[in-house]
Amino acid sequence: MMRVLRAFAAYHRAGVQTMFQYRAEIVLWAIWGLVNPAVLYAMWSSAAESNPDHTAAGFSRGEFAAYYFVLMIVGHLAAAWDAYEMGYLIRTGQLSSLLLRPLLPIWKAIADNLSYKVATLLFVVPMWFVFAWVVRPEFKAAWWQLGLGAVALVFGAILNFMLGYLVSLVAFWATKLDAMGEVYFGLGMFLGGRFAPLEALPRPVYWIAACLPFRWMFAFPSELLMGRTATVAEAVAGLAIQAAWILGVIAAFKVCWAVALKHYTAVSG
């Protein structure tokens, strides 16, 4: 295990160094992470303001500010893009180089994921502060909510990464996976509560979202961190659901990875 951790640390260092080579790109990614929630906040807050009770879907303007501020942070820290990446690695033959090494390629993907987040923090944190200063979010989170919310955020990030990686294995059969990546990303936006708080969705869609993993990646940690999850029991139940999803996805990954490797054709390398 120590060997794996040392290798992981080396991959992580190389990943951060690679990110630092492209400073302009880091800034652009940071802006991209800001724009989406900012636009949606503007839309929903004006909807709330236009209603007589100054709320929409049970959120006031200040609560929308808090929701999208937290979602901005959750969206960044739980970001994963491997659903797009695997097809590229296979098509360019880079996967073969990784498979020749005595370490599963997923470790490098995790290290790269963390590298992106660490390297971009320097740029996104000031933007978060500016956003908060402009929109004045209304928080009512207690300390226990912040503590459990942090755990939920980590679980959400693991779940998003692992599920994205599992989905990416389709590339062993389909090779080109960009559309699959878009579908995965779109589902995460819609059913993960990133377009709109899940409470704003029609009831059937709300329940569908509750049964799928996307809610547990983004919406649940955000709701917990902004103080909308009322009880400890509710929060712990949510964490248990996240853990169950993570374990299920890891188990599925182990099986699918073995099958995918048997199917691998290494045509490009």
Partner 1 sequence: MAQIEVNQLCKTFRVPEREGGFRASLRSLWRRTYRDVRAVDHVSFTVEEGEIVGFLGPNGAGKTTTLKMLSGLLHPTSGEARVLGSVPWRREADYLRRMSMLMGQRSQLVWDLPAMDSFLVQAAVYGIPKDVYQKTLNELIELLDIGGVLKKQVRTLSLGERMKCEICISLLHRPAVLFLDEPTIGVDITMQARIREFIANYNRRHGATIILTSHYMADVTALCKRIIVIDHGRLLFDGALSELSARLAPFKVITIDLDHEVDGYDFAAMGHLLTRADRKVVIRVPKGQAAAITTRLLSDLPVLDLNIQDPPIEDVIARAFGERRGEGEMGARAAEAAGQLEEIGFPNPEGLGHPEALSHPDTVSHPDDGFSAGMDDRGSQP
Residues engaged in binding partner 1 (CB under 8 A): 3, 6-7, 9-11, 13-14, 17-18, 21-22, 93-94, 96-97, 99-103, 261-262, 264-266, 269
The Cα–Cα gap between 97 and 240 comes to 38
CB 131 within 8 A of CB 34: yes
Residue closer to partner 1 (CB basis): 26 or 226: 26
Residue closer to partner 1 (CB basis): 146 or 256: 256
CB 264 to partner 1: min, Å: 7
The Cα–Cα gap between 166 and 144 comes to 32
CB 6 to partner 1: min, Å: 5
CB 157 to partner 1: min, Å: 24
Residue closer to partner 1 (CB basis): 71 or 171: 171
CB 199 within 8 A of CB 58: yes
CB 70 to partner 1: min, Å: 33
Residue closer to partner 1 (CB basis): 112 or 223: 112
Residue closer to partner 1 (CB basis): 107 or 139: 107
CB 267 to partner 1: min, Å: 8
Q: For residue 151, what are the CA distances in angstroms to 80, 119, 147, 216? A: 18, 22, 7, 12
CB 21 to partner 1: min, Å: 5
CB 215 to partner 1: min, Å: 36
Residue closer to partner 1 (CB basis): 51 or 268: 268
Residue closer to partner 1 (CB basis): 28 or 236: 28
CB 176 to partner 1: min, Å: 13
Residue closer to partner 1 (CB basis): 29 or 64: 29
Buried b (16+ CB within 10 A) or exposed e, 199-216: ebbeeeebeebeebbbbb
- Residue 199 is given by DSSP the state G
- Which backbone phi and psi does 104 adopt, to 5 degrees? -60, 140
